[in-house]
Each structure stands twice: as C-alpha cells, then as structure tokens.
Amino acid sequence: MGIVRREDIRNVAIIAHVDHGKTTLVDGMLRQSGVFRDNQEIRERVMDSGAIERERGITILSKNTAISYNGIKINIIDTPGHADFGGEVERVLKMVNGVILLVDAFEGTMPQTKFVLKKALDLELPVIVCINKIDRPEARPEEVVDEVLELFMDLDASDEQLDCPFLFASAREGTCSREAGEEGVDLKPLFETIIDYIPAPEGDPERGTQVLISTIDYNEYVGRIGIGKVDNGSIAVGQEIVRVNYHDPSVREKTRITKLYEFDGLKKVDVAKAEIGSIVAISGIGDLMIGDTLCSVQEEEPIPFQKISEPTIAMNFVVNDSPFAGQEGTYCTSRQVRERLFRELNTDVSLRVEDTDSTDTFRVSGRGELHLSVLIETMRREGYEFAVSKAEVIMKTDEKGHKLEPVESCYVNVPQDFSGTVISMLSERKGELVGMSTLSDGTVRLEFSIPARGLIGVHGMFLTATKGTGIMNSVFERYAPYKGEISFRKNGSLIAFEDGEAVTYGLFAAQERGALFIGPNTRVYAGMVVGESAKPEDIEINVCKTKHLTNTRSSNADEALTLTPPRILSLEQALDYIDADELLEVTPKSLRIRKRILDSRMRKRANMR
C-alpha cells in the first residue's frame, strides 16, 4: 500500500515570542469553530490551565487542542514563548506538519521569534506568518513583514519557505485578513490557509505501529500520560506494544495499551483505535519518557529524537534549618523535598536534579531563572518548605582546559532618555553592545551579547532604572571564554541581631542605615536579612529593641515615629537580591532572606578564612 495521506487531519503548532498572542489566538479559533455553545461562559486564555500560568499571563507547558472545520480535524498545539521553556517547543514540533508563526505588529521580530523559527526551519516545516495585534494604535505591519523576511534570510530559509503566506490578525477581536489594510471579519482566512498550505500527515498504514512520545502530561488519578503522533501503522486499545528509545538502547519494555484518547476541543475523548496522523494521548504505561517510541512487537524501530537543550543555570535546594523551620509548611523533610524534585522530572525534560555530598542539599539545574522560579512557586503552593541558594551559571571547559561560560543575546526596548543608563548598567556586567536602532515610535532597540551571569539579578534594577517602561528579553546564544569577575551587589545587608519581634522603635533606628524589607510585628531571628544596607558592608542591627521606660518617658511616644514603608520583595526579586553567602527561605506563607551561617561569630570567622 505504501505511503498514504490523511486528508481529513492537519497538525499545526503556534509558535511566537512571549506575549505575542498565541494563547489568545487559540481562544478565538476554539470559539469560532463551535467548540463552545453560544451562551457558554468562558474565561480568557482558556488554554492556560495552571494557576501560575493564569496569574502571570504566560504559557509554561505546551497544550493540545483540536477543532474541526468543514469536516477536517485541525490539531493545534499552543507552545510557550519564554526561552526558559524552549525545551517544550523543540519537542512538540516533532508532532506537527507545519507551524503558524505569530509576530506582534508593533514589537516585530524578537529573540524568541528567531529561536522558535530556526527550530521549525531546521525540521523543514512549512510556515504561515500571522502578523498579530494589527489593531494596536502603534502597529506597523508593513515594516514587520520586512523584518520577518529578513529573519527568514538570516536563517537560510529555502525558496519554498520564503514563499510563505502572510496573514494579518487581531487575536483579541477574533478577526483575520489576507491584506494589511483590509478589515477582517472572522478567522476564516486563517482556517482556510491552514487547510490549503499545511500538508496533511502521511505514513504507511500497513507497517508496524510507531508513535513517538513528544510530551508527558501528569494526572493524580491515572499517572503519566504520553502524547504523540501516530507516524506509521495504527494503535488500538488492548494491543501489545514494546517501548523503545533511539538514544538509549537499554530501554525495552513490553506492555499493553489500556487507555487511548484523542483531543476534541478542550477534552480528551476515549477512542478504541487511532490511525496515522492522529495525535493521541496514552495512559497506563508507568515509566513512559519523552523520546520513547511505542512500536508493535513484530517490528521494533525507534524514531530518532533531537536532544533537549542543556540547562545553563543551577541552584541548590536545601532543607530549611532556620529557627522557624517546620512552622508554616506541611512538607519539610529532606525525603519529601527530594521526592518532589524527582517527581518534577516526570514532566519537565529541561530540568536536572542531582544529589550532593550532603543529604540535605539537592542541585537543581534549568534553562533560566524563570524556569527555576516557577518550580519554586509551584512547590511553595503545594505546601513545601525549603531554602534555595543564589543561582549560578553552569561553566564548561574546552579541550585546552579554558573556562567557558554561557553567553546570551539580550534585546532591550527603551525610551530614548534611558538608553545611556541601560548601556552603562549592562556594560558593567560585561555586556557588549552589538546593535542599536530606533523604532518608528522613537523607542530605541539595543542588542547586547552578555554572559548569562551578568543577567542574574539585573531585571529588578533594569525596571527601576527605566521607571518600568523598558522591555528586556534574552535567549541563549553560545558558550564563550570566561570574561572575568562581575561585581553583583554594591550594597551589603542589614542583619537582625537577635530572635524576636520587630518593633517600631528598633525599625526607626534601623531605617537610617538602609532600606528595610520588613514592617513592625514581623517575627525575625538572628542572622535573618531585614533590609539592604546603604554601605557596601553588612551591618548587624537590633530591630527588636524597645525603649527603656522611666517616669518621664512613656511608651505611647513611639506612635509619633514614622516609618518608611518597607520594600516587600516578590519571589523573583528575592532570588535576584540574595548573595553567594545567603539563602532564601521559602515557605507557603513567607519568603525570608537569611545568611547561610546564622551565628554572627561563626560568620565572621568564615569571612576571615
């Protein structure tokens, strides 16, 4: 019979830089294909199912959905935009036959646009370019089309790839047109372009089963769910199969398919059998890993799978040993923390977790600060309590023994007035300015090549320096020779001198020494960081100190003391702030910065050494 095309299916992924409207576009496609009833109440960005995804407005894990249009089933995969979750994008592209590249009509091509487009072009996938947010007042669709074509040329696209269709859309309004100035009515042009331009999946129905697992979902009730595309043959409930892996010959396990699902709208629907081109979810196989191929027993042939990008940043997760340990969290022991970290490896392929010499410390490596901070926030919400160290980059050495470090391409959009400040801030952190241009609205776009170390902790300073108007994005570029020491923090810490409760009198005296992180009635312990010193060295202060009462001094005179409101740090700001000799204590209720060595005499001795 040979190779057959499944004309009733299209498999497509939506790729883009962060915040260019991928998830919103999927919303519009679901609405207009009749997945929802007309009177059904639906929230925005319905695909972002995680609580953290909804709060931050970002997609962390790729999501599958399916719609049907004129009798053709379109499987859509919504992918993350942040470079930290680039591992997700690389994998899901193996399941599709084409991509929709979404580009913001004002921002134009950004670092992540380049990263995801390169992955798609390397796999020779056809691309539909969709210029989104054309209803923005400052939109510049014609210029952006030129930028996209330039990017295609930079990435050595073939002539067929260059000859791709361009669409102009407003995902929020749910409209799309084929010409830049044309008023769109609905998303019909998008659906039609997908069906005409994205090839139908093909495979050999007579051959043995081949399903490459590209994503893993996890569910408390059924355990691991593997998601992948049927490349050849068919797969059915009750069928005996063998699990193999192209990169790991030791994997070989016979098992049976107990549950098989396909996607329909936002639901998984039980099916008895799936043919070539179908994207399926399979549960009931305990050790299923991303990159495994499920084959029929008679014909074992694993499918090659591209290697996941290596982590570039690492931090230590430490069992909490502060005086407040175990008071706010449910899971605090090293066994519980270790179990939870290793469980995360089930779904997150870009993460690495290693045991260290100490039974209380685990080294966790990821793709960037955001990647690790999302894990910390997730664990914290689940009731875990632990401490983390400052993030550090993962160094390598070349054949000659020279030290190499990860270097990132960093793109900054700022108003003209702040460009000088930003250039000097990033130059101090060994950043090199490699490009500078002015956009149509007068915003300056700067492009830097900067060591990944230099970007740790820079985000908060950057937002302060640009009064919240700057946008900064970076993406891993290469490993390059080590560029020398970088001074991270110019100021020392204000450290609590004793255990107790902070009082207005003590805080009033302390605020002259620097900026406070806590307010009155906050419980503190010796060695806890309560603020940032105005000087380069650490200062120990007594924030629990009360006034001596005498006949002439009454306690209510305290009420006249005015305190500057404390600077409450978010999780990201606290991770940015901590220094090499500090830890961040994370509990479901609190974030506390502390010195690694709490006892002040021991700390001084360690510093002298």
Domain ranges of the chain: 4-200, 204-296, 396-481, 493-608
Position 172 scores a pLDDT of: 79
List the beta bridge partners of residue 243: 253, 294
Computed over every residue of the chain, the mean pLDDT equals 81
pLDDT tens track for 320-352: 999 999 899 898 899 999 999 988 887 777 789
Q: State residue 45's pLDDT score.
A: 41
Q: What is the pLDDT of residues 114-126, one digit of tens each?
A: 777 888 888 888 8
The span from the CA of 184 to the CA of 195, in Å, is 19
Q: What local confidence, expressed as pLDDT, does residue 343 receive?
A: 84
Question: Could you read off the pLDDT of 266-305 as tens digits, one per residue?
Answer: 677 888 888 888 888 888 777 777 778 888 878 778 787 7
Cα angle at 82 between 76 and 87, to 5 degrees? 70
Q: Which of residues 459 and 430 earns the better pLDDT score?
A: 430
Overall CATH class of domain 204-296:
mainly beta
The answer, yes or no, to whether residue 319 has pLDDT greater than 90, is yes
Length in residues, the chain: 609
Which pair of tokens denotes residue 360? Answer: 């209380």
Cβ contacts of 336 within 8 Å, gap of 6 or more: 384
The tens digit of pLDDT for each residue in 502-528 reads 998 888 888 888 889 998 889 999 999
Classified as helix, coil or strand, 526 is coil
* pTM flag (> 0.75): no
Q: Which CATH number fits domain 396-481: 3.30.70.240, 3.40.50.150, 2.60.40.10, 3.60.20.10?
A: 3.30.70.240
* Residue 327 CB neighbours (<10 A): 14
| C-alpha 205 chain-centroid distance | 38
Q: What are 53's two structure tokens?
A: 């995804």
Q: How is the chain split among helix, strand and coil, in percent rounded to 5?
A: 25, 35, 45
Report the first-to-last Cα separation within the chain, whole angstroms: 76
CATH superfamily of the domain spanning 493-608 = bipa protein (2.40.50.250)
C-alpha 46 chain-centroid distance = 18
DSSP 435-484: EEEE-TTSEEEEEEEEEHHHHTTHHHHHHHHTTT--EEEEEEEEEEE---
Task: Choose which CATH entry (3.20.20.120, 3.20.20.80, 3.40.50.300, 3.90.550.10) describes domain 4-200.
Answer: 3.40.50.300
